[in-house]
Structure 1
Amino acid sequence: MELRKAEFSDLDRIMEILADGRSALAALGIDQWQGGYPAREVIEHDIARREGVVVDDENGNPVATAMVACREEFDYREITDGAWLTESLPGDPCYVVVHRVAVAGDRKNGGIGASILEYAAWLAEELGCSSVRIDTHPGNIPMQRLLEKNGFSKCGIICISHAEGATPERYAYEKMVGVAATREAKPLVAMR
């Protein structure tokens, strides 16, 4: 397996992988991605900005995709029922964001999703970011398990602006990396 930047020649295969993801979400009764999102234009934009990644199988064929970048996520500015682990100023993100994670249906449960999260953590450290942030639908239990297994903490709830009539609330997760991860955590409530 090899993770690499997505190219425009991967576009049709990426859309097939996303269709697999859409079907998997529907099978779980999740309304996420059941409209037109993520549209081809969104993926083209990811590729053009060099934010799209794919994971190739042993034959060099993409079997997973995601968007991974160090940039502000507007929808992450407001969080309820909790707080982010790290602070970030608008216009000056201190985190890597991960979106649009999908694995081909015949390649699920093979550690590919974890490799995308590992790449995001590596990129965050390389760029001097404090953390990786990601969100997932409240009904997406498999993704929540993957995130928690890979060291992400559930921080609260955010609302996405592109829900297309689906549930806009998403569970917000964050994983600290580098120096931020090694700092001793302060308790939220003083112990007596």
Structure 2
Amino acid sequence: MELRKAEFSDLDRIMDILADGRSALAALGIDQWQGGYPAREVIESDIARREGVVVADGDMLVATAMVACRDEFDYRYIEGGSWLTESLPDDPCYVVVHRVAVTGAKKNNGIGASILDYALRLARELGCASVRIDTHPGNVPMQRLLEKSGFTKCGTIYISHAEGATPERYAYEKTVRGRNAPAAEAPLHFAELR
């Protein structure tokens, strides 16, 4: 398997993977993504900004995510705790991960962990202090993945695009030891992502 930057030619398959993720969340009784989010325009924007990534198993895309070093407006206020690192809106010091989805046939194969590993590698490369991510309170599988991957639950944030769903999200963060610190061994091949 290979993790690489998403291209516009991947768009239809990315939307299929997200639809599969939407169905999986619904099956768990989670109201996240049950409106129109993430809409095609959001994914197009991820691709245009070179923030979208995909995981390919041969010729088939099996996972997608958004990974970038940029300020996340909804992360500026955190309730019931605090972030592990300090960050300023005009000078973010973290990599953010959103819109993680793995197609049902490939779940529980370490792909989600590999996406998180890529985010940590990117944070090191960019000199960022950490990786931040959030998840729905009902998304226990994602919470387990984050905790198993060494992320710390820092509190609760509230998303502005909940579309009538639960706006609360558990906020997680993992610090990066150092810019040149060795990363954990990854089960995926990481394509040149420039």
**TM-score, structure 2 normalization:** 0.91
SS at match of 2:13: helix
Name the residue aligned to 1:36: 36
Note if 1:72 corresponds to 2:71: yes
Name the residue aligned to 1:81: 80
1:38-117 residue pairs with structure 2 within 5 A?
38-57=38-57, 59-117=58-116
SS at match of 1:178: coil
Report sequence identity in percent.
82
Count of aligned pairs = 180
1: CA distance, partners of 2:89 / 2:63: 31
Note if 1:171 corresponds to 2:170: yes
C-alpha distance after superposition, 1:55-96 (max 9, x if no partner)? 000x22210000000000000000000000000011110000
2: CA distance, partners of 1:135 / 1:34: 17
The runs of 5 or more residues in structure 2 that have no matched partner are 182-194
1: CA distance, partners of 2:81 / 2:53: 30
2: CA distance, partners of 1:2 / 1:42: 23
1: CA distance, partners of 2:177 / 2:94: 11
Name the residue aligned to 1:159: 158
2: CA distance, partners of 1:29 / 1:113: 21
Q: CA deviation at 1:178?
A: 2.5
Q: CA deviation at 1:15?
A: 0.2
Q: Give the residue type in structure 2 aligned to 1:26.
A: A
SS at match of 1:41: helix
C-alpha distance after superposition, 1:23-53 (max 9, x if no partner)? 0000000000000000000000000000000
2: CA distance, partners of 1:30 / 1:126: 35
Name the residue aligned to 1:15: 15
The runs of 5 or more residues in structure 1 that have no matched partner are 183-192
2: CA distance, partners of 1:179 / 1:110: 28
- Deviation beyond 2 Å, 4+ runs, structure 1: none
**TM-score, structure 1 normalization:** 0.92
SS at match of 2:100: strand
C-alpha distance after superposition, 1:133-189 (max 9, x if no partner)? 000000000000000000100000000000000000000000001239x9xxxxxxx
